[in-house]
Structure 1
Amino acid sequence: MAPLEVIGAGFGRTGTQSLKEALNTLGYNTMHMTSFIADPTLDPTIFKDAYMDKDKPVDWDQAYKGFTAAVDWPTCLFYKELMAKYPNAKFILTMRDADSWYKSIKNTIHPRVRDVLAGGDHPEHLVRMVDMVATVELDGAHRDPALFANEDEMKRRFMKHNEEVQRTIPAERLLILQLGEGWDRLCRFLNKPVPKVPYPSSNSTEKFNASTERFLSQAAASSSA
């Protein structure tokens, strides 16, 4: 079983979907939160249980079976455990300014999570994924609209995470990648040649909401068929 070679330590909505596509272009097979939507066989409860009981042993090889890289939530929350488990892995901290990050998550992930938590006819694997998301992201803030609406607190959590990552991961194992940077430093860090294609630019707020609507419509059609 191939171990993880590249691990994303940055929160979602910091260019992680573009990074996933970039890593796949470089030859990795990358887990991202969207992987749980695309593949109903992936088990999000592994990550929920790991978050809820940090003393319980986790089979990380099983959690990431078939993947050689992982970015976005929930992976970014377990960077300390993964740093110890995979001592040869390299880490990437994707970053953007806190104001634009909060605006983005407020207009994308949060309302979608709230929709599914409210109930309705959703595919079972989506419900399991959203339950995990609502538990692990931002220490459960998606379950508490009043807390999530506290912009200063959400941005504090975002910045605290980024600061802790930089304090914890040795500099030689960590690349800090700003939103929209492109290929050059990423490829140098991973010792890969620069591809002859543009760096991916995906999952804007508009694309996120459009793709989510498309998935939910397809899932509803399948359920009623």
Structure 2
Amino acid sequence: MAPLEVIGAAYSRSGTDSLRAALDILGYRTLHAKVMLMEKVGRPELFEDAYDHPDKPVDWNYLFDGFDAAVEFPAICFVRPLLEAYPNAKVILIERDADSWYESVKNNVIKMLEVAEARELSEHGTHLIRAFEKLWLDGVLLDPKLRADAEEVKSRYKAHNAWVKEHVPQERLLALKLEEGINWDKMCAFLGKPVPAEPYPRINSSKEFNEEIPNFAERLEDL
């Protein structure tokens, strides 16, 4: 199904799972870390190799085979090369207040990784967690001390958002703020899609995420 038509450049805990669901409603097939986990799709080891060898040619159509949109991990780790590989793709960036964003990451993403790291994972699960930790904000999750350094993590998050807004051509970029609310109007106008009759999805709150952590961990064992 690749090439990609939509690239979600927002980091985890910035409304990315809702964005994934919204794009699917609009008719896209969207890759997201949750999809890689729950459906055992994607090739995390090849994304890791692309990250480790940035000068090595990459067949992005192969890596995103079956998808025409991608949000959150792993696409957020490759925004620069994906912009070049897919010059017609639209980019959606959702920004969140850095303080509340970090609290959500600490209480959700990092907690899930800690649970996963204590388990015997399947081969796919091992590849997925290893790639996620290495690629996400350039390895900030690899070191427990660095994970806990709120200012460093927030600094990297803000630098990523600033880079996207500076380097993505304005006609290809829709920049939204989570605190202002996300709805269909701007998104559908940007993507050239009719507004769906159903409400914009609101899923994967901190409470929902935490309730799902045991299921995520079990899934990583069974993949």
Report the counterpart of residue 185 of structure 1 in structure 2. Answer: 186
Q: Is the 8 A contact 2:116 2:217 kept in 1?
A: no
Aligned residue type for 1:123: S
In 2, the alpha carbon distance for the partners of 1:156 and 1:191 equals: 34
Aligned to 1:196: 197
* Corresponding residue number in structure 1 for 2:97: 97
Contact 2:89-2:172 at 8 Å conserved across structures? yes
For the residue of structure 1 that corresponds to 2:203, the secondary structure is coil
Question: Counterpart of 1:117?
Answer: 117
Question: Which residues in structure 2 correspond to 1:38-117 (within 5 Å)?
Answer: 38-117=38-117
- Contact 1:117–1:131 under 8 Å retained in 2: no
Q: Partner of 1:81: helix, strand, or coil?
A: helix
Report if aligned partners of 2:21, 2:201 keep a CA contact under 8 Å in 1: yes
Q: Mark the CA change 1:194 to 1:154 in structure 2 (over 3 Å): closer, same or farther.
A: same
**C-alpha displacement of 1:106:** 0.4
Paired position in structure 2 for 1:25: 25
1:115 to 1:206, Cα distance in 2 relative to 1, 3 A: same
Question: Identity over the aligned pairs, expressed in percent?
Answer: 44
How many residues are matched?
A: 221
Please state how far the C-alpha of 1:114 moved relative to its aligned partner: 2.6
Deviation at 1:141, TM superposition (A): 1.8
TM-score by length of 2: 0.93
Cα contact 1:114–1:142 (8 A) shared by 2: no
How many Å separate the matches in 2 of 1:72 and 1:219? Answer: 18
State the 1:98 CA deviation: 0.3
More displaced, 210-219 or 174-183? 210-219
Matched-pair contact (CA < 8 Å) for 1:102–1:151: yes
Partner residue, 1:7: 7
- The alpha carbon displacement at 1:217 in A equals 4.2
The aligned amino acid for 1:172 is E
Distance 1:215 1:157, change over 3 A: closer
| SS of the residue 2:93 aligns to | strand
After TM superposition, give the deviation of residue 219 of structure 1 in Å. 6.4
Are the equivalent residues in 1 in contact too, given 2:35–2:41 (CA < 8 A)?
Answer: no
Equivalent residue of 1:141, what SS?
A: coil
Change (3 A) 1:112 1:219: closer
Query: Does the 8 Å CA contact 2:38/2:219 hold for their aligned counterparts?
Result: no
CA distance, structure 2, for counterparts of residue 76 and residue 133 of structure 1 = 11
In 2, the alpha carbon distance for the partners of 1:204 and 1:169 equals 29
CA shift for structure 1 position 168: 0.4
